[in-house]
Amino acid sequence: MRKSRIHILGICGTFMGGIAAIARQLGHQVSGSDQNVYPPMSDQLAQLGIGIHQGYDSEPLEVNDLDEVIVGNVMTRGMVATEHLLQNTTKYSSGPQWLGDAVLRHKKVYAVAGTHGKTTTSSMLAWILEDNLMDPGFLIGGVCHHFPQSARLTNSDAFVLEADEYDSAFFDKRSKFLHYHSDVVILNNLEFDHADIFKDLEAIKTQFHHLVRTIPRNGKIVINGDDANLKEVINMDCWTPLVSFGSDDQSDYWVVTDKNNPRSFSVHDKTGCQFRIDWTITGQHNQLNALAAMLAAQEAGVSMISAADSLSRFQNVKRRMELIGQCQGITIYDDFAHHPTAIKTTLAGLKAVSQGRTIAVLEPRSNSMRAGAHVKALPTALAGCDEAYVMIYPDLDWDKKVQKQLNEQCVVLDSVGALLERLKKDLQADDQVVFMSNGSFDDVPRRLLALLHTSITMP
């Protein structure tokens, strides 16, 4: 492959940052532009020696020897860089298209799709293959503790991929996962999300069925048997063998949580209990993620027993119930949950292992949440914790009845400064505090930890 000079627009997104890492491994000269730069992706790009241009002006696109521009889906018409690109002759493509053509066409692709759990399940699957000496390539929308980067290219035939249903680019409104030439696909769950892209749930089901249409007959679909929406997708037509996982014997394989130890579970099939896993991860949703990853790994020749042994040593992804620290008996976690279902399951998993209060701190950051698409489900999602703090910024145009309900049920704040002061006053020993946002949240979890340490040392 000829080595090229590539510029990536929107390089600091988790997906586009992974594209940058793989392009560098292929030997290309890579640079990028972005206007929202924060860890962990900014740290990863710095380690790779990839320069970042601040902002979306046209300056990086005006160099004479630029061979190709890879366009992230953060880019829109009207941006200076976008208009410059369209008015000139430089080759451009979306991130998913570039990845599919340059890398995935030549690999056996293990894709993880679904509304929730893609990053965690992809990380579990990549770790299982790595621990069983298969040296997989991968691109994951987060940084797993087992790997120094979120993406890599290897000589292995296996490539694990987080397969997002979000659109590919401003010029390609197909879901990203349609570009990936997937062979083994995990369908984890399906709910309405991405209200800025999809009109309704039916539109998302259509995209998922388009994915099903691309999976070959000699591939495999690992499907959540608990999910009625996924069953509807499969009933539209399916040409690929299925294996199902779930929470009861209606599926081919299912998990049973140990009532005396919520961090332990067993895997069952129609013949009985197969094995047990003891690990540090909370929540039945993560047990289902683990089972899906084990079933997918079977298609790479890894036995379920070997996969279970690997998962007993699995360390979770950064910002997925990531332990930030402890101070004054208060434990602080950082989590990516932003959809009501993910918020609810995350809190349930934490509460099951907590000795003290479970405290939720939510920043509504996703486009769907900010647009109000999920706001009516928020009170129910937060009902499982002991106390909840919700950031409702002045620019959020939410249903007034729901805002009133949240004001009655939660502590509602409109600034990070006010949040930190309130938490410092309210928190007590044995509290388990989880910050939930799919943005940077102004690094509030670490700022709170520092504030608690300061209050100890102050006279």
Residue 216 C-alpha from the chain's centroid: 26
SS3 label, residue 157: coil
Joined tokens for residue 156: 């292995």
Q: What does the alpha-carbon distance between residue 139 and residue 141 come to, in Å, rounded to a whole number?
A: 7
Task: Work out whether strand 108-113 and strand 158-162 pair parallel, antiparallel, or are unpaired.
Answer: parallel
CB atoms within 10 A of CB 407: 12
Give the burial class of 57: count Cβ atoms within 10 A of its Cβ; 0-12 exposed, 13-18 middle, 19 or more buried. Answer: middle
Q: What does the alpha-carbon distance between residue 311 and residue 296 come to, in Å, rounded to a whole number?
A: 13
Alpha helices in 336-412 (DSSP H): 340-353, 367-370, 378-381, 400-409
Report the chain's terminal Cα–Cα distance, integer Å: 64
Give the model's pLDDT for residue 373: 66
* Beta strand segments in 355-431, E: 358-362, 387-391, 411-413
Q: What are the angstrom distances between the C-alpha of 333 and each of 90, 97, 358, 369, 414?
A: 44, 36, 11, 21, 21
Give the model's pLDDT for residue 3: 85
Q: What does the alpha-carbon distance between residue 151 and residue 137 come to, in Å, rounded to a whole number?
A: 7
Longest Cα–Cα distance in the chain:
70
Q: Which domains does the chain have, with CATH numbers?
A: 5-93 (3.40.50.720), 103-311 (3.40.1190.10), 322-457 (3.90.190.20)
Joined tokens for residue 33: 């532009």
pLDDT 10s per residue in the chain (459 long)?
568 999 999 999 889 999 999 999 999 999 999 997 766 677 878 888 898 999 999 999 998 889 999 999 999 999 999 999 999 999 999 999 999 999 999 999 999 999 888 999 999 999 999 999 999 999 998 777 788 888 999 999 999 999 999 899 999 999 999 999 999 999 999 987 766 778 889 999 999 999 999 999 999 999 999 999 999 999 999 999 999 999 999 999 999 988 888 888 999 999 998 899 998 888 888 999 999 999 999 999 999 999 999 999 988 777 777 888 889 889 898 987 777 878 887 888 788 777 889 988 988 877 666 666 667 778 788 888 888 898 887 777 777 777 777 777 888 888 888 899 999 889 999 998 989 887 778 888 999 899 888 876 544
pTM for the whole thing?
0.80
Q: Which residues pair with 69 in a beta bridge?
A: 7, 92
Question: Are 389 and 422 contacting, i.e. CB atoms less than 8 angstroms apart?
Answer: yes
Give the model's pLDDT for residue 456: 61
Question: Are 415 and 387 contacting, i.e. CB atoms less than 8 angstroms apart?
Answer: no
Q: What does the alpha-carbon distance between residue 282 and residue 53 come to, in Å, rounded to a whole number?
A: 39
Characterize 198-208 residue by residue with b for buried, 16 or more Cβ atoms within 10 angstroms of its Cβ, and e for exposed: beeeeebbebb
Joined tokens for residue 403: 């805002």
Q: Which residues pair with 268 in a beta bridge?
A: 254, 273
Give the burial class of 325: count Cβ atoms within 10 A of its Cβ; 0-12 exposed, 13-18 middle, 19 or more buried. Answer: middle
Taking each helix axis from N to C end, the angle separating 228-235 and 201-213, rounded to the nearest 10 degrees, works out to 50
Q: What are the angstrom distances between the C-alpha of 44 and each of 51, 148, 174, 319, 320?
A: 11, 8, 28, 15, 18
Alpha helices in 187-278 (DSSP H): 201-213, 228-235
Q: In what order do the strands lie in the sheet containing 29-34?
A: 51-54, 29-34, 5-9, 68-71, 91-94
DSSP codes, 254-290:
EEEEETTEEEEEEEEETTEEEEEEE-S--SHHHHHHH
SS3 label, residue 161: strand
Joined tokens for residue 154: 């290897």
Give the model's pLDDT for residue 372: 62
For Cα atoms 136, 320, 419, give the angle at the middle one, nearest 5 degrees.
155
Give the model's pLDDT for residue 319: 75
Question: Are 359 and 434 contacting, i.e. CB atoms less than 8 angstroms apart?
Answer: yes
SS3 label, residue 90: coil
Residue type, position 2, single letter: R
Q: What does the alpha-carbon distance between residue 128 and residue 295 come to, in Å, rounded to a whole number?
A: 11
